[in-house]
Amino acid sequence: MLRQRIKKVLISIIIAGLLVSSGSSFCAPFCLAEGNEEAKEDFIKWVDFNVPCEAMKKAIALDVASQDKDVKLNFIELLACLAARNGNNFSGYRDRQLDEIAEKLYSGKTIRELTTDSKYYNYYHEAFSAVLSGFVGAYEVEVPDKSEAGKHWEQRYGLKVFSPIAKGFHYSHYSDFGKRRSYGFSRPHLGNDLIGQVGTPIIAVEGGFVEAMGWNQYGGWRIGIRSFDSKRYYYYAHLRKNFPYHKDLAVGSVVKAGDVIGYMGRSGYSTSENVNNINTTHLHFGMQLIFDESQKECNSEIWIDVYEIVKLLETRRSEVIKDPVTKEYNRVWDYRDLSGYTE
């Protein structure tokens, strides 16, 4: 099964290599392959992801706490159930709202029973699964021995993705999704800018395949990573001039969550390669959702607001160390995802 996925993704990489990648696009309600009526299949065309960090943290905590109980909770089901109840309006969110849903599930109710009267639960569940399905589960991680003379593997369950900024490196950010950008043409900002210092190690949030690398006049040196389930495309842009990527990476490479993939810079806004025309050093971090391959490289791509996701991952930072010879940063503690996908 994994080999089939790899083959499918590599084929899409070859096709994508023949197309012009802008790294930024307009958003529209639907995306149709030109001249192909079959492209009108029933798949999600738009997602407005506005789940606050606090709600995600609470749902994940309930999921983790339930793993030693008879009733196992699923954080995505909890969030989708709540979205179906509040019409995807989380402005009045309180932790007790998720606690109440959890209590009903522990009492013997099922998600199906709790959402019988909900017209949109299935939509929210599919949409939120596309955003978050790689975020929580079983994994193994290296940890230091008590003597600190060695290390060993520990199996854990919980949040298994990482902040895009390495541990120990300062950054700041604010909610800037949808703000106007004028270089080239007027367009909405489809990501979250994390402001820091040149050379800050950039981390793979989730494991997957490197689907795009190279220069783009809008994003400068950038890298795109497709999740193993193919639903998420992570976009990291404005990487460092002259030294943008970790040397081991190429299109088609497999990365693990927490790996160093590149370095922060301010490249971009130029049709010439390797030019710094961005005024402020930062990482542009974005996530595109893909429910159908026709949604790649088109004018109807689905980019979501990742600001709350970045907040969620703030305490989940990959520790790195610099090689004095190569000047490359590498992760300190290795990691294995136990979800069934392997490198």
List C-alpha distances in Å: 172 to 66, 196, 304, 307: 34, 7, 20, 11
**In the CATH scheme, what architecture does the domain 2-30+162-337 have?**
Distorted Sandwich (2.70)
Contact 203, 262 (CB under 8 A): no
Average pLDDT, the chain: 89
pLDDT at 5 over 60: no
**Sequential DSSP letters for 210-242:** EEEEEEETTTEEEEEEEETTSSEEEEEESBPSS
pLDDT tens digits, residue range 250-301? 999 999 999 999 999 999 999 999 999 999 999 999 999 999 999 998 889 9
pLDDT at 29 exceeding the cut of 80: no
Q: Are 164 and 194 in contact (CB under 8 A)?
A: yes
Supply 214's token pair.
Answer: 């190279």
pLDDT at position 14: 36
Range from 1-5, 115-119, 213-217 carrying the lowest mean pLDDT: 1-5
**Model confidence at 243: pLDDT above 90:** yes
- Domain-by-domain residue ranges, the chain? 2-30+162-337, 53-132
Residue spans of alpha helices (H) in the chain: 2-17, 53-65, 75-86, 95-106, 111-114, 121-132, 307-312
- Which percentage of the chain shows pLDDT scores above 90? 80
- Residue 102, pLDDT > 70, answer yes
- Mean pLDDT within 7-33: 37
Alpha-carbon gap, residue 301 to 304, rounded angstroms? 10
Tokens of 128: 């939120």
> Over the stretch 66-77, which tens digit does the pLDDT of each residue have?
999 999 999 999
